Amino acid sequence: MYSQKVMEHFRSPHNLKEIKDANGIGKIGNPVCGDLMWVYIKVDKNKQGKEYIKDIGVKTFGCVAAIATSSMITDLAKGKTLEEAKKINRDDIKDALDGLPPIKVHCSNLSADGLHRAIEDYEKKKKA
């Protein structure tokens, strides 16, 4: 049912951790539906003076697909500038995982949305 790639990420997920000094947090999903993700980002400036994702971690309650998509977002977003990270979408995650079962596409592929929320949170905090 799941691709080899999904199972790899499920078996050894990357960066499924809380970041203590995160400056952006995005919470998405709902335990009632069975999927909940908290995306933590640590944003810093790179040598060109652009803001980028220096570190990213996700805490996930959910199924195999939820865990794999959480792991994948950290691979795709780490090191990217905020402008680049904002462009990562659900399809990028799905494609990078060699696809997801159709039934899981809607409910468990939340990590890109979680990342966007974390970036919004960072930008809001910066303005304040």
Partner 1 sequence: MVDKEVEKAMLPYFTKIYGNASSLHKFGQEAKEALEKSRETIAKRINALPEEIIFTSGGTESDNLAIKGVAYANKDKNHIITTKIEHHAVEKSCKALEKEGFKVTWLDVDKDGFINLEQLKKEIADKTILVSIIHANNEIGTIQDIEEIGKICKEKNVYFHTDTVQSFTKTEIDVKKQNITLASFSAHKVHGPKGIGALYIKKGTKIKKLSDGGSQENNLRAGTENIPYIVGFTKAVELAKQEHCKKMQELRDYLIEKVDKEIPEVKLNGSRKERLCNNINITFKYIEGEALLLRLDDKGIAVSTGSACSSRELKPSHVLTAIGLHPAMAHGSIRFTLSRYTTKEELDYAIKHLKEAVAELRKVSPLWRGK
Looking at the Cβ atoms of 43 and 67, the one nearer to partner 1 is 67
CB of 74 to partner 1, least distance (A): 12
Looking at the Cβ atoms of 8 and 123, the one nearer to partner 1 is 8
CB of 18 to partner 1, least distance (A): 8
CB of 80 to partner 1, least distance (A): 22
Residues with catalytic roles: 33, 107
Tokens at 127, concatenated: 């303005």
Q: Under DSSP, is residue 58 helix (H, G, I), strand (E, B) or coil?
A: strand
Contact present, 98 and 5 (Cβ < 8 Å): yes
Binding site for partner 1 (CB under 8 A): 7, 10-11, 13, 16-17, 27, 31-38, 58-67, 103, 107-108
CB neighbour list of residue 48: distance below 8 Å, 6 or more residues apart: none
Chain centroid to Cα 99, Å, comes to 16
Give the chain's radius of gyration (CA, Å): 14
Looking at the Cβ atoms of 70 and 76, the one nearer to partner 1 is 70
CB neighbour list of residue 116: distance below 8 Å, 6 or more residues apart: 26, 86
